[in-house]
Chains A and B, each alone.
Chain A
Amino acid sequence: MMHLIKYSLLTKLRNRSLIFWPLIFPFVLATVMYFSIGQIGEADFETVRAAVVADEGGELSGTESFSSYLEAMEESSDMMLAEEMTRKEALDALEKGEVDGIFYSGENPSLTVSTTGFAQTILQMVLESYMEGKETLEDVAALHPEGMESAVNQMGEYTDTVEQVSLGGRTTDGTAQFFYALIGMACLYGCFIGYSSAMEMQANLTPLAARRCAGPVHRLKMILAETAVSFGIHFVNMSLLLAYMKYILKLEFTGSFLEMLPAVFMGSMIGVTMGMFITSVGRMGEGVKIGIMIGVSMAMSFLAGLMNADVKNAVDRTAPLLNRINPAAVISDALYCLNVYDAPERYAQDMVILAVMCVLLTAGTYLLIRRERYGSI
């Protein structure tokens, strides 16, 4: 048994394509996603700079109220930084790119920008918000002067009524969903290792397998050795990927590393046995089988939210059962439970589903590959 394991391990570790898809590819993808999706949040909140030029016409009341509004905006968030300047200074600063726009205060404040973009849109929204509030107060003053004081107080106490919090109070990082789905996909990519094992065990698939099957090694022993090695390699792959995401990329995986391992453990087993199962079914060409494996794993990962987190939410709303039988979605959900929801019951439910999938796939695969005589070779 030990020599079977030793040589199976050697052949698999020396097969570059076998290592690339289940290990290197998810690492590369995680890194690329980290530098693209993961950094969006930081880029979005770069402070927008604006110059404020007091109205030269001297309508003091309007100038003061708009300046007060801008000051309040600066105090409430880091979104905007406004600086009072003369008209000339402001125009110079705008030309040099030191500010994104110029507010001209007064009775009817206005905005001047030199280009269009995200920062300019924010400045425009700031101005529109002020104008709406101003109009509202003017209407109240004209129609219900007795309620003026109350209206001013309410507008002054305005706060954002929507606050993002997680159920477990752990993280609200929306991009984490992509990485959970990526782990689900990487688990399923174990199918490439399972494929290689099945190709070397089924006499009707390769001459090498036929030679092995003609030997005196008990079939079950061979299957056990191959499955153990394939699973072992993939589980190590997945543990490395998880550690890379948590400790090197420092993604917001607030659950402990050890807590996440069982989900990855079962995911690895499902990936490997799925590969063995697909390879052992029928006598399609190698290209077709690899195509099916890529198609199945990518479709499952897509539904689990790999490309767009809303897809998983949409499936949850419209066809919840699909996400309960999609291993990538269940793995992703289990990780979500650990890192976001802090929902041990749902996590346990996910683990039971994964365990059932594991047992069914392993049993089905065994029934297929235990064949000892073939109809044709």
Chain B
Amino acid sequence: MIKIENLVKRYGNTVALDHFNLNVKEGEIFGLLGPNGSGKTTAINCMLALLKFDRGSIKIMGEEMAPDNYRVKRQIGIVMQDVAVFEELNVRDNIDYFCSLYVSDKGKRKELVEEAIRFAGLEDYRKAYPKKLSGGLLRRLNIACGVAHKPRLIILDEPTVAVDPQSRNRILEGICELSRQGSTIVYTSHYMEEVEQICTRIAIMDHGREIAVGTKEELKSMIKTGETVTIEAVILAGEELERVRELPGVYEVRYEGQTLTVKCTKGKHNLIHILNFLNEREIPFGRVFSELPTLNDVFLEITGKQLRD
């Protein structure tokens, strides 16, 4: 569906996209994950033929993407990071306007607009003007305007920024529904939980490059961490801490404020080894957590920094 090869985009001396590659297959919900300033929005704007780039090629639906490639543009839906609707038009007219850029048949458009209103849960706000809508409803209107014409490819650039949890869940459910209806989705975010929740494949970006691509399981398997064990209210001496480090599967130990955090490689009995050690030494402890690696761990291990830094 989308094939980007060696895309380079510079702003003066700053390299925004550094030989960026991407391959999105039809029917996927593809997540583009990266911290702010990693180049996600620049990549999207290049894909939409809004931004000039220095090198590389972008093909969408098998065709070179260009500003005048209206055949391809007609099959794309775009939801911008910033809400982009007319303040002077009500909810229905806004959706109708953006739908009319793609669908000229008035009758068909009427059906599509009603469908988009239902999809976004805006039935009670048809006549409302954007300034009267809450942040969550405004975001939903923003999405409805981008998807009303039922495009084959939908690009959503951080659609849940500053949205309440209820609206966020509704938006994420809606995106999965669009995918079930046959659309290919490209979803950019710096919220790893969202990307983990809905995306079938993910590319992690940093400094204008894709640093890892795959399913979430594939990405997690790329790193050393298999499990992170956290034990609260435990008092350890220096010698005991050294013994924990020597336990099988343990490769990193942190002990701060009576909380022990142990990172283990992939293995089945990591937690048992640690708890057995504490029992043998009769060391009392509080709550125990065991967490599987997150995309943040993947990002941290590859780049040496947190995803939200």
**A-to-B contact residues, CB < 8 Å:** 3-4, 7, 10-12, 14-15, 203, 206-208, 210-219, 372-377
Assuming A208-B85, A372-B68, is B102 touching A203 (CB within 8 A)?
A: no
Give B54 Cβ to nearest chain A Cβ, in Å.
Answer: 11
Nearest CB in chain A: distance from B155 CB, A = 9
Contacts A214-B48, A216-B70; is A7 near B78 (CB within 8 Å)? no
B83:A207 contact, CB within 8 angstroms: yes
Residues of A within 8 A of B237 (CB): none
Contact of B101 among A15, A210, A212, A374 (CB under 8 A): A212
User: Which residues of the other chain, A, contact B145 by a CB distance below 8 angstroms?
Assistant: 211
Contact with A along B162-195 (1 / 0, CB 8 A): 0000000000000000000000000000000000
Cα A160 to Cα B154 with chains together (Å): 84
Kindly list chain B residues whose C-beta atoms are within 8 Å of the C-beta of A14: 88-89
CB pair B73–A211 under 8 Å, yes or no, is no
Instruction: Tell whether A214 pairs with B73 under 8 Å between CB atoms, given A373-B49, A376-B51, A377-B51.
Output: yes
Stretch at the interface among B19-27, B92-100, B214-222, B273-281: B92-100
What is the minimal beta-carbon distance from B3 to any residue of chain A, in angstroms? 19
The docked-state distance in angstroms from the alpha carbon of A256 to that of B93 is: 42
Asked whether B52 is an interface residue with its Cβ less than 8 Å from the other chain, the reply is yes
Q: Contact partner of A215 among B51, B82, B101, B104, CB < 8 A?
A: B101
Q: Are B98 and A215 in contact (CB under 8 A)?
A: yes
Bin the interface of chain B by size: 20 to 34
A219→B76 CA distance, assembly (Å): 17
B50 in contact (CB, < 8 A): yes
A229 to B146, CA, bound (A): 25
Q: Would A3 and B100 be within 8 Å (CB), given that A372-B67, A377-B45 are in contact?
A: yes
- Interface residue? B11 (CB, 8 A): yes
CB pair A210–B50 under 8 Å, yes or no, is: yes
Beta-carbon contact of A372 and B102 below 8 Å:
no
| Residues in A neighbouring B137, C-beta threshold 8 A | none
Q: In this complex, which of A7, A212, A213 has the most chain B Cβ atoms within 10 angstroms of its Cβ? A: A7
Say whether B80 faces chain A, with CB atoms less than 8 Å apart.
yes
Q: Which residue of A lies closest to B47 (CB)?
A: A214
Contact among A7, A206, A219 with B89 in the assembled complex (CB-CB below 8 Å): A7
Q: Could you give, for residues 24-64 of chain B, a 1 whenever the CB lies within 8 Å of some chain A CB and a 0 otherwise?
A: 00000000000000000000010011111000000000000
Q: Across the two chains, which residue of chain B brings its CB closest to A217?
A: B101
Give chain A residues whose Cβ lies under 8 Å from the Cβ of B89: 7, 10-11, 14
**Contact A216 to B93, CB < 8 A, known contacts A15-B88, A207-B81, A211-B80:** no
Roughly how many angstroms separate A250 CA and B70 CA in the complex, as a whole number? 54
Bound-complex Cα distance A373 to B49 (A): 6
Q: Which residues of B contact A (CB under 8 A)?
A: 11, 45, 48-52, 67-68, 70-71, 73-74, 76, 78, 80-86, 88-89, 93, 97-98, 100-102, 104, 145-146
CA distance A216 to B100 in the complex (A): 10
The 8 Å CB contact of B78, one of A4, A11, A211, A372, is A211
- Which of B73, B80, B81, B146 is the one whose CB lies under 8 Å from A216? B73
Q: Which residue of A lies closest to B155 (CB)?
A: A214
Q: How far is the CA of A218 from the CA of B71 in the complex (A)?
A: 11
Across-interface contacts of A211 in B (CB, < 8 A) = 78, 80, 84, 98, 145-146
A-B contact pairs, 10 of them (CB 8 A): A7-B86, A203-B50, A206-B84, A207-B81, A211-B146, A215-B101, A216-B74, A218-B70, A372-B68, A375-B51
Check if A374 sits within 8 Å of B50, measured CB to CB.
yes
CA distance A206 to B73 in the complex (A): 20
> How far apart are A240's CB and chain B's nearest CB, in angstroms?
21
A3 touches B97 (CB 8 A): yes
Q: Is the CB of A377 within 8 A of B101?
A: no
A47, B184: Cα distance in complex, Å: 87
B84 CB contact (under 8 Å) in A4, A10, A210: A210
Contact A214 B88 (CB under 8 A): no
Bound-complex Cα distance A374 to B11 (A): 11
Separation of A217 and B149 alpha carbons in the complex (Å): 14
Partner among A11, A218, A219, A375 whose Cβ is within 8 Å of the Cβ of B86:
A11
Q: A10-B89, A214-B73, A215-B73 are in contact. List 11 more A-B contacts (CB 8 A).
A: A7-B97, A210-B50, A211-B78, A211-B84, A211-B145, A213-B67, A216-B70, A216-B71, A217-B101, A373-B67, A375-B51
| B49:A372 contact, CB within 8 angstroms | yes
**B141 → A minimal CB distance (Å):** 12
Most buried by A among B93, B101, B104, B145: B101
Complex Cα gap A206–B78 (Å): 15
Contacts of A207 in B (CB 8 A): 80-84
A2 CB, nearest partner CB in chain B, Å: 9
| Contact of A376 (CB < 8 Å), options: B11, B84, B98, B104 | B11
Chain B residues positioned under 8 Å from A206 (CB to CB): 84
Minimal Cβ-Cβ distance residue in B for A376: B11
The 6 nearest A-B residue pairs measured at CB: A372-B67, A14-B88, A215-B101, A207-B84, A207-B82, A216-B73
User: Are the C-beta atoms of B78 and A214 separated by less than 8 Å?
Assistant: yes
State A4–B101 Cα separation when bound (angstroms): 8
Q: Within 8 Å CB of B67, what residues of A?
A: 213, 219, 372-373
Instruction: Kindly identify which residue among A4, A11, A217, A377 contacts B50, using a CB–CB cutoff of 8 Å.
Output: A377
In the bound assembly, the distance between CA atoms of A214 and B76 in angstroms comes to 9
Shortest Cβ distance from residue A7 to the other chain B in the assembled complex, whole angstroms = 5
Question: Do A216 and B50 touch across chains, with their CB atoms under 8 A apart?
Answer: no
Q: How close is A170's CB to chain B, nearest CB, in angstroms? A: 44
